[in-house]
Structure 1
Amino acid sequence: MLKNLNLDDFGIYEGISETIVTTNHGWTPNAAPMGIIRKKDKLFLRLFKGSTTYKNVLSEKMIVANITWDPIVFVNSTFTDLEDSDFETEHFNGKNLVSLKEAQCWIAFECTNTKLTSEAMVTELIPIRTHIDKCILRAPNRGLFGVIEACIHATRYQLTGEDKYLRLIKAYGDIVEKCGGDDEKEAMKLLYAYL
């Protein structure tokens, strides 16, 4: 456990911070957008049954939360497997920590006090290793946030088929078109193609 770690320095604030969580089991890395939940100075992750990340956390009891501003990575990791070349591996305490090469920074967490329900798991996160690659100062962009929200609604649409999620995706797509840059607009095109 890392003592005196200031989570704010890594962009993990009170509430839910959107990250790309990377895990692995054996030789296969996995990436998926996940919200890290911070309440006071406790961190949690909620995973729904059936996902690769869920299975990997049950098996390995470890995740890496990658901080990135790349909207295309958010979309691709929502709908498909990233290329092996998108990952890098570091050996730490007998485990393989898999992170995204293009992440601005990452925090590796041990998953403890895991509680299982019929639909999901909630696990407490204990930071064990950190890495800062590049410091990018960037003002919040509604386009990126629109892409992230659209990804969330797209996964719900795929699960339920309910039209309300298509309407929400379209509304966020309109925000991306108005406020986003080229990368955010390209990410929305990819998202629509996955649907």
Structure 2
Amino acid sequence: MIFETIVTTRSPSGAVHIAPMGIREERDLLVLAPFKPSTTLENVLSTGYAVVNYSDDVRIFAGCLTGRRDWPLTPADRIPGVRLVAALAHAELQLLHAEDDPLRPRLHCRRVHLQNHRPFRGFNRAQAAVLEAAILVSRLHLLPREKIEAEVKYLSIAVEKTAGPAEREAWGWLMEAIAVHDARQAERPV
């Protein structure tokens, strides 16, 4: 099973990187599988640490994919890292070992610390739709235009019916990203 989270990492110089990422749980470990190349991968391999943030604020997922990475942070409790202030819970991780792969290395991490901050009240359909649209936006370069159009058309029904202001804002950012991608594709020589 894959859990959609926000991963925060730091470079050796202390620069913070925030990225949405699906993670897996295997036995007692959390497994991150960032694409190559990626800042998350470089940071975890060089420092040995990451924080997994569990959040229901879909603006963070959409924001990270559309260039909005300035989210309030606070220091982690037990590792040299940071977590999202908006996290409902967070897990502080230490890298145990990495399995190399040409596309997506697997980083096996142990939880050093796990803390709940607020209760999870559940997702509404619009939040789930925004998460799915965020995944589409992260793969625009891989998917045919017809698939993107069909998915957006279906997902927009949930947004229209159940979204609040935060979900509408996140949806708007993602639709702008798709429009920019489409415009760039149209400009490419055939």
> What is the TM-score normalised by the length of structure 1?
0.81
Q: Indicate if the aligned counterparts of 2:9 and 2:17 stay in contact, CA closer than 8 A.
A: yes
Post-superposition offset of 1:175: 1.9
The structure carrying a bigger strand percent of its residues is 1
Deviations 1:20-56 (A, max 9, x none): 1100112211111111212444431111102211111
Q: Residues 139 and 130 of structure 1: is their aligned pair in 2 closer, same or farther, counting only changes over 3 Å? A: closer
Equivalence for 1:46:
33
Equivalence for 1:172:
155
Equivalence for 1:66:
53
Deviations 1:46-94 (A, max 9, x none): 11102211111121121101111101111112232522x62222463xx
Q: How does 1:3-14 map to 2 (within 5 A)?
A: none
- Taking the aligned partners of 2:120 and 2:56, their CA distance within structure 1 comes to 10
- Taking the aligned partners of 2:76 and 2:7, their CA distance within structure 1 comes to 15
SS at match of 2:18: strand
Q: Report the residue type matching 2:66 in the other structure.
A: F
5+ unaligned residues in a row in structure 1: which ranges?
Answer: 1-14
- Taking the aligned partners of 2:177 and 2:161, their CA distance within structure 1 comes to 22
Q: Report the residue type matching 2:63 in the other structure.
A: N
Aligned residues: 176
Note the aligned Cα RMSD (angstroms): 1.9
Post-superposition offset of 1:146: 0.8
Instruction: Establish whether residue 154 from structure 1 lines up as the match of residue 126 from structure 2.
Output: no
Aligned pair partner of 1:129 in 109, 113, 130: 113
- Taking the aligned partners of 1:189 and 1:166, their CA distance within structure 2 comes to 15
Aligned pair partner of 2:87 in 90, 94, 103: 103
Q: Residues 110 and 81 of structure 1: is their aligned pair in 2 closer, same or farther, counting only changes over 3 Å? A: farther
Q: Indicate if the aligned counterparts of 1:154 and 1:169 stay in contact, CA closer than 8 A.
A: no
> What is the TM-score normalised by the length of structure 2?
0.83
- Taking the aligned partners of 1:166 and 1:61, their CA distance within structure 2 comes to 40
Post-superposition offset of 1:137: 4.1
- Taking the aligned partners of 2:36 and 2:121, their CA distance within structure 1 comes to 35
Q: Indicate if the aligned counterparts of 1:47 and 1:53 stay in contact, CA closer than 8 A.
A: yes
Equivalence for 1:11:
none
Equivalence for 2:74:
88
